[in-house]
A and B are shown apart, each in its own frame.
Chain A
């Protein structure tokens, strides 16, 4: 608990996390307002449509989580951290927990905020969360941002430089996974198992109705939604373990 308090103080005593949180919320809720406000009729606005800004919010959350580690390396406070807490594994686990929790709560607020603003702008649209798929689409966002933050912290520990870690994460999650599909023959098969694509399956997969939603969050994974979440969580934990082992062996 002590270590969690330490990481909480560190995270919230600088300005960048506040900016990132504000930006993530603004982007996601703003896009929901834009998309639902400009729709021709209430019938065009459905639950998935309200979550249009999700990938932008995810990008900002990845930046927030990465910065929490890379700024420590940038300003060498990581050394003060390891001086205060010589067990590097405990120190980094505490940081991961705090950052992931903040990211999870932020994702949840952003998703429900987006739904709420759409309800205000299109009171006649059918935006009630009637099915398990609807609930996953909105409430599940927090779970995905939680594990995405774990991935980002791990990448931050491994790369240590802000610019490097942020570009790797954003380029990978936003662009590289999609480009893999262009590889002849095996591209689609590989893409099907790439983590961020699988995470989208959890949010947008709807095995009951077999509706394919096109737009941000569409996935080519064939896993069941909860298996997809487990797969993404497993990926984030493997990344974290690699990062913890690396940090322990390396000179701070």
Chain B
């Protein structure tokens, strides 16, 4: 179990992580979600004792990272796949890690086999593709057969096959009863990978709940209706507690499902040209939630307007 208690990190005037408290339970994959710059990596570095918190603490099974005797056997982490000396072989890289935590060196071959890098074990890590580096990083995280695993943006830059591989891998690790925390800035990815979500923005906790609840609550289900008798339909719907919104020549109804609207229209002999359920996208929901907390807003719309002005 991982526990963050009032975790705060300040760099000069910027507050990277602000009084963050949450727990990560074993046996499932927990997604650590937030836009770029929300403080995900900083939080993970503090969990590993690499950065010192300004205040608060992060505990691994009730202990500070620095109190762990053989930390790699307790908690494995992949924060950045490029944290390898480019002229050192994958094997040598894992060997020194194994020796440092009294892990039998035979385990190095095991994890290399597990991630499918046996053939390139003696090659210099600097020549690895991103996907291979990512696999080497995962091999390093699994080296001590730890109960707790941290992965920072593990699917970034991977091809679909690599993404699928990692996703399945995370599930397997959680099914084995381990505690798995995976960060990402993509809700769509997390909806497939994580059963539980910890959502942060600008270093603050926005929500912690199950992925299903989160998506259900965050995405609004609506029905799009087009009818030549729009005004009659509008009057009918106004009698219910449904909310209405105009969208060009269509009505967007929320609070009623397509079947209810269809039956109501039939009972009152209203002709319908379209009746289609609309599902809000995860990205929209995520934007809505974290919209105020995005660290680096793009001035895209304004820039486009300016460009149009110039061209006139």
Contacts and interface: CB of A to CB of B under 8 A. Distances in A.
A211 interface: no
A76 B97 CA distance: 14
A78 to B, nearest CB: 9
B85 A2 contact: no
A74 to B, nearest CB: 9
Nearest to B103: A84
Interface residues of B, number: 32
B99 interface: yes
B50 A76 contact: no
A251 B52 contact: yes
Given A9-B92, A82-B49, 17 more contacts: A2-B102, A6-B99, A10-B96, A13-B95, A14-B87, A14-B88, A71-B85, A72-B85, A76-B82, A77-B84, A79-B45, A80-B97, A84-B72, A86-B49, A86-B66, A251-B45, A252-B45
A86 B68 contact: yes
28 contacts: A2-B100, A3-B100, A6-B96, A6-B99, A9-B95, A9-B96, A13-B85, A13-B89, A13-B92, A13-B95, A13-B96, A14-B85, A14-B88, A16-B87, A72-B85, A75-B83, A75-B86, A76-B82, A77-B84, A79-B50, A80-B140, A83-B49, A83-B72, A84-B71, A84-B72, A84-B101, A249-B52, A251-B50
Contacts of B102: 2
Contact of A83 (B48, B85, B88, B96): B48
Nearest to A71: B85
Contacts of A14: 85, 87-88
Interface string A2-19: 110110011001111000
Contacts of A87: 66
Contacts of A120: none
A16 B187 CA distance: 44
A85 interface: yes
Contacts of B48: 83
A77 B100 contact: no
A2 B97 CA distance: 11
Contacts of A75: 82-86
A16 B86 CA distance: 12
B79 A84 contact: no
Nearest to A9: B96
Interface string A226-251: 00000000000000000000000101
Contacts of A86: 49, 65-66, 68, 71
Contacts of A83: 48-50, 71-72, 77
A79 B79 contact: yes
A82 B89 CA distance: 20
Contact of A76 (B49, B66, B71, B80): B80
B51 interface: yes
A252 B50 contact: yes
A252 B66 CA distance: 13
Interface string B94-119: 01110111100000000000000000
A3 B82 CA distance: 23
A252 B140 CA distance: 19
